[in-house]
Amino acid sequence: MAGDLRHRRASAEDGGEGAPSAGEEAAANGKDGAGEPRGKREALGWLEWGRGWMAIVGEFFFQRIAASHLANPLELPPLEGVSIIVTGATSGIGLEIARQLTQAGAHVVMAVRRPKVAQELIQKWQNESSETGTPLNAEVMELDLLSLDSVVKFADAWNARMAPLHVLINNAGIFAIGEPQRFSKDGHEEHMQVNHLAPALLAMLLIPSLLRGSPSRIVNVNSIMHTVGFVDAEDMNLRKRKYRSWLGYSNSKLAQIKFSSMLHKRIPAEAGINVICASPGIVDTNVVSSISIFFSNHLFYFSR
């Protein structure tokens, strides 16, 4: 996906094969190819929807085969002198990313809503690595993505250091499967805020530090579920249509891809900041456990 974004930016700049066609430009402007205003789309078409679910089912059944040639874990090069912020580093994928990067020598900032848990993790990793005698360069900063104030506070504190930032990994996310719709105190549907809006704000606010660390990158942890998402710019918080938790999640992940693509194109190439979306596949974490619990409860209900 990163390659794809880069390719599209390069091609768009030199007017090459990947540059948007007149039809695509028109579509982006809400017109048909002949320049006539087009009706606003209300939802995914059946074909797109079916294709999306097939991609999800395909990933579910075939990801092990597709990734069977990869070493696990992948070996990292020495990362001394590289500063990396990892959001949601207290469990699941973020925890593993932070642990491996720290052990490869990077300066890792665990941006989390439970600082005590993160401190304990650092202590544990430090004890484990005491045999090799390498001191770890990890620290904890508080960040709650359900509060945009917290995002601003975090970015201000980091930028005030006037230090370079080489990588921002926007990993933290929620999938509140089967739960009722909830809104943050900022007034946004929670999936949309935690998975897209707050990480997007964080990325924008950290651009001065990313410029100092250039070449640098923003990595947004996405999901194959974006293939069944639909973003209605006039109803980002799903107030007008029927809410379902999987829709809240999918929409937020699609919004994240759209934003990443736009940000990548808008940052001038000379700035040296790449914006990347990465889909981790299906990983056994808290997110997946809550999906399994949801399905086993419902299967139990149907089998009674």
Ligand X SMILES: NC(=O)c1ccc[n+]([C@@H]2O[C@H](COP(=O)([O-])OP(=O)(O)OC[C@H]3O[C@@H](n4cnc5c(N)ncnc54)[C@H](OP(=O)(O)O)[C@@H]3O)[C@@H](O)[C@H]2O)c1
- Choice from 29, 123, 134, 286 touching ligand X (CB under 6 A): 286
| Sheet with strand 107-112: strands edge to edge | 138-142, 107-112, 83-87, 167-170, 216-221, 273-278
- Choice from 54, 283, 293, 299 touching ligand X (CB under 6 A): 283
114 near ligand X, rule: CB under 6 A: yes
∠ at Cα 263 (51, 48), nearest 5°?
A: 10
Q: How far is the CB of 82 from ligand X (least distance, A)?
A: 21
C-beta neighbour count of 86 within 10 angstroms: 30
For ligand X, the closer CB: 146 or 177: 146
The DSSP code sequence of 149-197 is HHHHHHHHHHHTTT----EEEE------TTPPP-B-TTSSBHHIIIIII
Residues contacting ligand X: total by CB under 6 A: 27
223 near ligand X, rule: CB under 6 A: yes
| CA gap 247, 236 in Å, rounded | 11
92 near ligand X, rule: CB under 6 A: yes
Q: Which segment (74-82, 129-137, 159-167, 279-287) binds ligand X by CB under 6 A?
A: 279-287
C-alpha R_g of the chain: 21
For ligand X, the closer CB: 173 or 213: 173
For ligand X, the binding residues in 126-185 under the rule CB under 6 A are: 143-146, 171-175
For 118, the enclosing helix (H) or strand (E) is: helix 115-129
287 near ligand X, rule: CB under 6 A: yes
- Choice from 90, 102, 209, 227 touching ligand X (CB under 6 A): 90
For 274, the enclosing helix (H) or strand (E) is: strand 273-278
221 near ligand X, rule: CB under 6 A: yes
For ligand X, the closer CB: 216 or 227: 227
- On whether the CB atoms of residues 140 and 120 are closer than 8 A, the answer is no
> 301 catalytic, yes or no?
no
Catalytic residue (choose from 154, 158, 249, 259): 249
- Choice from 5, 9, 83, 88 touching ligand X (CB under 6 A): 88
For ligand X, the closer CB: 146 or 207: 146
- Choice from 205, 212, 288, 294 touching ligand X (CB under 6 A): 288
For ligand X, the closer CB: 213 or 248: 248
C-beta neighbour count of 60 within 10 angstroms: 12
| CA gap 201, 206 in Å, rounded | 9
For ligand X, the closer CB: 252 or 274: 252
For ligand X, the binding residues in 174-213 under the rule CB under 6 A are: 174-175, 194
| HSE-CB of 245 using CA atoms within 13 angstroms | 12
Closest C-alpha among 112, 139, 127, 225 to residue 175: 225
| CA gap 294, 296 in Å, rounded | 6
State the catalytic residues: 249
Query: Where do contacts with ligand X occur on this chain (CB under 6 A)?
Result: 88, 90-94, 113-114, 143-146, 171-175, 194, 221, 223, 280, 282-283, 285-288
